[in-house]
Structure 1
Amino acid sequence: KLAQKAQSDAEKNQIGLFGGAVKVPKLAAREPIPEWDAREKLKFEKEALGFYITAHPLDKYERELARISKVTTADLSSAPDGSPVQIAGVIHAVKLKNNKSGKRYATFSLEDREGAVEAIAWSETYQKFEAIIMGDEPVVARGKLDVDDERAQIILESLVPLDSALLDSIREVRISAPISRLENGGLDALKAMLSRYRGKSMTYLHLALNDGREAVMLLGDSYRVTPTGTFVAELERIFAPGSVELR
């Protein structure tokens, strides 16, 4: 504002009462503002611009998405009308409406890395999955496809958070480790860790033996696990990056 006033006065051939250049006051130093985390940054990019710049919320799931569905939004327009569909994406532009009997339902845009498709959750489905629809986590949508000459739409039947769907899709956890790492209490530490993450996925232990061979063991049902990101990170800190394979 000071610069604009100085320029305006100069154009009008005016000077201050005592002449001379405009003195810019010193501004108080501001404390450093912490950087947004990746999730916040993507959220604000979408809100401000209508699209993502730095990344896409599904990027970190690229390798795992094949376990959920091989279908993307780009494939839907050529799929048969009424066919079942399961697709992962991010929910945007939720619109709430009332039907003729006054019950609320929702329409929204489901976006993946290839594009977007409209989805509709009729009243019973909306009531069941309202919290997920109004959240901001990536999801897996299941429903029936409604296709005509102008557009493709998903009639929603169920909705689950993507993280939960990925966990449910993992049937096997394979842990690779040299046998030396399980000596001196290492095996007891591994058993204790597996017991903290009990779940449904079978656990295989691939032991690298001293003579160069490998022993593969299927652990008992009491060592089935829920392989969350924290679980994988903790195991890879114990052994090595890449020592855990999810199938």
Structure 2
Amino acid sequence: MLRAPCDGLGGHRAQLIAALDAAISEAALQQEEEEKGQGSLFGDLLGGGPDASDTPRKNGAPSLPNIPTWTESERLQREKELLGFYISGHPLEKYRTECELFASHTVAQLGNWVAEPVTIGVVITSIKKQVSKRSGNEFARLTVEDFSGSSEVLVFPEAWGVIAERVRPDIPLLLKGGYSKKDQGVENATFIVEGVTRFEEVRANGEVAVAIELGPGLDLPAAVFEDVRAKVESHEGSAPLELRWRDASGRVVRFRSKSLTVTASAAILSDLRALLGADRVRLVRTGG
């Protein structure tokens, strides 16, 4: 993860931003006093001077307010607002696997007309609401972004009336839609959004399973599988747990637990991979 330049100043970003107004006010006051000559007239006599301040200090620097750190979503959103791009991460990163499993296209591929439905995994970085001159109904143009780039897509009034409340900036989404037949052969055809699903709902709805892949030659103590069960039970959730056995001929047999379900999170993947190996645990599309 990249670090922003201010990350080396001490404290976290929420503290630095919260302290910024006070720091600017103090600097402006000191400048004003110096311009009026008060800094040299009274400050030196009273043992203060330009560096004196009522602000509590620690190790020579003003203390920072005791406030919670920003969530990852808040941090990335503020980076986008300030810089116009994400610098320390990407909102889609935690759903990279779902993008690979459920998205049929990337944003970079939009504009190439196809007859079949298209699904993309994105975050929305801009929402432009407009009113149709013909019908008087509201529609929207959305700027969307994934790991491959950004593009503008269109939501017609009928669809916008249904999904508007679910569309928010910087929230990972699956957008489903396609292209108008009249745009066939048109350069850079407009992608038309017809439906939206939040990635967090994909996991919560059991559309993603945690798969453990085993096969001949795996030499693990029996106690490891007791640890696996303990980890699974400590991360109880809605995602199915699958055991996939690959025999010597390459044939795969799948078994789905009837009693164990897990949270499809980075934490359970990390715990299981530590026990079984990084290449033996992954997220899969349910039934895939």
Same-fold call, TM cutoff 0.5? yes
**Which 5+ residue runs of structure 2 have no aligned equivalent?**
1-27, 57-62, 246-251
Q: What is the rounded CA distance, in whole Å, between the counterparts of 2:254 and 2:104 in structure 1?
A: 29
Match of 1:236 in 2: 272
Give, in angstroms, the shift of residue 86 of structure 1.
Answer: 1.3
**1:54 is aligned to 2:88:** yes
SS at match of 1:137: coil
Measured at CA, do residues 198 and 4 of structure 1 come closer, stay the same or move farther in structure 2, by a change above 3 Å? Answer: closer
Shift of 1:124: 2.5
- In structure 2, relative to structure 1, the CA distance for the partners of 1:30 and 1:118 (3 Å cut) is closer
Q: Distance in 2 between matches of 1:30 and 1:62?
A: 36
TM-score (structure 1 length as normaliser): 0.69
Instruction: Report the AA paired with residue 25 of structure 1.
Output: S
Contact 1:205-1:219 at 8 Å conserved across structures: yes
Which residue, out of 54, 58, 81, partners 1:26? Answer: 54
Equivalent residue, structure 1, for 2:177: 143
Whole-Å Cα distance in 2 between the matches of residues 84 and 154 of structure 1? 10
Q: Where do 5+ consecutive residues of structure 1 fail to align? A: 207-215
Count of residue pairs the alignment pairs up: 231
Q: Structure 1 15/164 Cα, relative in aligned 2: closer, same or farther at 3 Å?
A: closer
| Residue 180 in structure 1 maps to residue 222 in structure 2 | yes
Contact 1:89 1:111 in 2 (8 A): yes
Counterparts of 2:76 and 2:144, CA distance in 1? 16
Task: Provide the C-alpha distance between the structure 2 equivalents of 1:162 and 1:225, rounded to a whole number of angstroms.
Answer: 18
Q: String of CA shifts for 1:148-169, please: whole Å, max 9, x gaps.
A: 44x4432111111123346765
Percent sequence identity over matched residues? 21
Say whether the 8 Å CA contact 1:119–1:156 is kept in structure 2: yes
RMSD value, Cα? 4.2
Q: Out of 120, 128, 132, which is 1:87 matched to?
A: 120
Letter in 2 for 1:93: S
Letter in 2 for 1:244: V
The answer to whether the Cα contact below 8 Å between 1:67 and 1:169 also exists between their aligned partners in 2 is no
34-43 or 130-139, which deviates more: 130-139
User: In structure 2, what residue type is equivalent to 1:89?
Assistant: V
**Contact kept in structure 2, 1:97 and 1:106, CA below 8 Å:** yes
> For 2:120 and 2:282, how far apart are their aligned partners in 1?
24
Aligned to 1:213: none
Residue 121 of structure 1: how far off its partner (Å): 1.9
CA contact (8 A) 2:177 2:193 kept: yes
